[in-house]
Structure 1
């Protein structure tokens, strides 16, 4: 099929503008290919921008500065310990690639301007490997977008991919929709799917997980499994579609973003923050850290084990064992709940070892931190009647919900909380070159997948492994696809943004 003059023709077509997509686009462009990156949302970011932002790696400058002698082989040996009890195989070959190449990916991020604090310990890692991004996870997108645009990557936001297009059994591009118009974008060397997971696809969640899971919201509301759906239409297979982080309860984020989330991800600011972590006293650092910890993290389940009660928006108790309360809340109208407890629990969760929430390796947030930083989700009343009035709940239902607990006032309510999936593991089956495989283990010619879309059965439990895979797989695929055909050609259509 000859090129239509309306077609946009590039060497490499990347679908998805999160961390893995940007990594793929940058590496393909720096290898000499013409590259376009298509993102359906108004701005880049994907689930990378929603994450806490930690990345686990060995042989980093941060480890060396602390005198930590570590290596990829030890990382490879430790990762399966996080998946203990999971009755399914890991993808050892992809795990080897991840552990071997994340040190270079970490340095690549540093070279791009991203800064980190750490490393932090996280057993069962035998050594500290978790590095937390500064000042927040948007730093990844800020610096990589700058690098991509500087390199000449053609970035087009508000551009939704409708379907993958094949010719003589090979994926040659994608049909997209933008401003009510459709257009074919061709990728001569190949198409890289970097469209994230399907935590907000009721259809895929119902098929792989079940009807209750299909009701649960996602942290990233635009993670609708576009890459998985389009690849499945060509015969691809999804692995581990039933595995997910969650559902879990999460505090709703504040309507106005906190100072930490508003901080610009400038390199100078990140360097200052990195210095501060090692030099400023905790009393000065703690108020800053608490703005992060009280934003939208998970409440500790030990609250419910201690006797706190979860109620719905009417004040009626939501019943289940603590680990399953997120499922129960998803069944409630509106998927919104409040955690209510009395004076005894309030005193207990005001100091170590009982905390309201935590970011592993960073700090712990107690009740006073929420009272100070999240006035929008903190309520206190001397009586159940006053609390019901403040929360606009039905007093008889709230009295009944709390009546079985030996609580005394004043009463505290934290909420709303909602039931969410943070991410899921349902990625396409890929080979070690990130080529998407069909049901017969044969590559679908011209089609590649990275990040969560191309997880390939890799088990990524433990903080910092999903982001590590995003950058490792994206970088590798970008280089491989750029080299998939000899020679390069310029884009037929100039960049539009």
Structure 2
């Protein structure tokens, strides 16, 4: 086997968890190969809100907060509600005890945060928000990985694990239409994200209604999960999902997501957020808040309705419309409301979307920043033309609603009429491979699969990650733990 096709540790996936696994192993002196099926690193990390929740951080200490990991362990359970009985406390403990070091490593790599911000029921502020956007993570991690000599190969899709005498010894990957075999002397780390874009997996584990919902990242097809299932692993909590949520389709071009993830820019933004008047920096914050966030339920409760591409109202907007939208033409819908609601949702406390600890976005923010999803007209017929639905159908749908409007609503009567959208139903799957606290993949009988590790959403089997900042924290921290474990495994 050529040295180019062998390494001490092979990592499948170059998202946040995979890159951290590679860095951890490389810093221990191991040769590391990362295989990524996409043309660029980052994965779901690039689409995250960007918050990371941690105790014992330097930012907390700077403002006099003493916050031990044990307190974080206790507070995480307060988020879980009915899911608490399905949480793995050993994984939760491994997470809270190691995430402070994860945050410190990110700071050492030049990643900039503002905060910490409060999020009850956390007893103290723990949410650290990245600047300028979540792409800063992959930028810093991939740069450091390459500095350490990590071999990152893009457009390489791993198709199966190679096993000898019950031990995982490598992978077979497809690139440029050819199959390639890669040997791992110490271990393979699976870090391929969730399976939110795999309709069949969603159907098996979460049911047909969830299977119909879309995915924020269309390449999150559960490849890494399947690789492990093929060698005797199992998925835990596969029926638990985040969402479905109705979210606006992302813009083709958006300044905030196009900002270069440089440390200089992040420091300028951090200084500006602390020193400049809110009115000066708010327009830039709104570019982020109006990108892919969920419109609030209160918009529907106040009288807005959902219309499909046929111009028809198809569901009770306050009764899980996210389950109905995937059944509509193009799997999308528009939010329709009138001038009265437009005025109502232009100021506090009636916001359209929010990111905790950041700011609130109102209708004028969408009008300025999302011209691609904002339409306004003096009549329903004109609005129908702008959004491309049959005018007669839209007029009839609104007239029918006005005959029996939602309680507390006067109906949609006052021009101008506004459409926001399209919105689509998105889901993130929470089920992952069953793992040990050392991120060893476990078989159905609870024994470790020799030579196989998992991290991030792929290795989320058993830990519940409610609350902002825990998914990214887990992705990075579990990646570190998996990379370390694989690097320490004895050869042979």
Q: Normalising to structure 1: TM-score of the pair?
A: 0.95
Q: Is the 8 A contact 2:195 2:222 kept in 1?
A: yes
Runs of 5+ unmatched residues, structure 1: 488-497
The match for 2:268 among 256, 263, 272 is: 272
Provide the residue aligned with 2:79 in structure 1: 82
Mapped pair 1:46 → 2:7? no
How far apart are the structure 2 equivalents of 1:72 and 1:147?
27
Mapped pair 1:482 → 2:487? yes
The match for 1:250 among 247, 250, 257 is: 247
The C-alpha deviation readout for 1:169-205, integer Å capped at 9, x for no partner, is 1000000111111111111101000011000000100
How far apart are the structure 1 equivalents of 2:141 and 2:238?
29
Mapped pair 1:312 → 2:308? yes
Provide the residue aligned with 1:424 in structure 2: 429
How far apart are the structure 1 equivalents of 2:385 and 2:26?
59
Q: Is the 8 A contact 1:250 1:299 kept in 2?
A: yes
| Cα drift, residue 391 of structure 1 | 1.7
Provide the residue aligned with 2:222 in structure 1: 225
The match for 2:419 among 410, 413, 431 is: 413
Alignment of 1:377-416 (within 5 A): 377-403=373-399, 404-405=401-402, 406-407=411-412, 408-416=414-422
How far apart are the structure 2 equivalents of 1:443 and 1:476?
15
The C-alpha deviation readout for 1:235-273, integer Å capped at 9, x for no partner, is 1110011111111111111121x2111111111111111
How far apart are the structure 1 equivalents of 2:4 and 2:149?
19
The C-alpha deviation readout for 1:100-123, integer Å capped at 9, x for no partner, is 111111000000111111111111
The match for 2:132 among 126, 132, 135 is: 135
Point out the more displaced range, 351-360 or 85-94: 85-94
How far apart are the structure 2 equivalents of 1:277 and 1:299?
25
Provide the residue aligned with 1:462 in structure 2: 467
The match for 1:8 among 5, 9, 30 is: 5
How far apart are the structure 2 equivalents of 1:17 and 1:311?
39
The 1:375/1:162 distance shift into structure 2, 3 A limit, reads: same
The C-alpha deviation readout for 1:347-382, integer Å capped at 9, x for no partner, is 110111110111111000001111111111111111
Mapped pair 1:215 → 2:212? yes
Alignment of 1:64-103 (within 5 A): 64-86=61-83, 88-103=85-100
| Cα drift, residue 320 of structure 1 | 2.8
| Cα drift, residue 85 of structure 1 | 2.4
The match for 1:191 among 188, 191, 206 is: 188
How far apart are the structure 1 equivalents of 2:396 and 2:236?
45
Count of residue pairs the alignment pairs up? 482
The match for 1:350 among 336, 346, 350 is: 346
Q: Is the 8 A contact 2:83 2:464 kept in 1?
A: no
| Cα drift, residue 280 of structure 1 | 1.0
Secondary structure (helix, strand or coil) at the match of 1:470 reads: helix
How far apart are the structure 2 equivalents of 1:243 and 1:66?
37
How far apart are the structure 1 equivalents of 2:237 and 2:328?
27
Structural RMSD (CA): 1.3
How far apart are the structure 2 equivalents of 1:107 and 1:154?
24
Q: Is the 8 A contact 2:235 2:434 kept in 1?
A: yes
Runs of 5+ unmatched residues, structure 2: 403-410
Provide the residue aligned with 1:284 in structure 2: 280
How far apart are the structure 2 equivalents of 1:73 and 1:335?
44
| Cα drift, residue 97 of structure 1 | 0.9
How far apart are the structure 2 equivalents of 1:246 and 1:226?
21
Provide the residue aligned with 2:406 in structure 1: none
How far apart are the structure 1 equivalents of 2:286 and 2:197?
29
Q: Is the 8 A contact 1:7 1:183 kept in 2?
A: no
Mapped pair 1:111 → 2:146? no
The match for 2:325 among 329, 348, 353 is: 329
Point out the more displaced range, 60-69 or 447-456: 60-69
How far apart are the structure 1 equivalents of 2:480 and 2:388?
51
Mapped pair 1:341 → 2:341? no
How far apart are the structure 2 equivalents of 1:106 and 1:182?
38
Q: Is the 8 A contact 1:320 1:328 kept in 2?
A: no
| Cα drift, residue 486 of structure 1 | 6.1
| Cα drift, residue 396 of structure 1 | 2.1
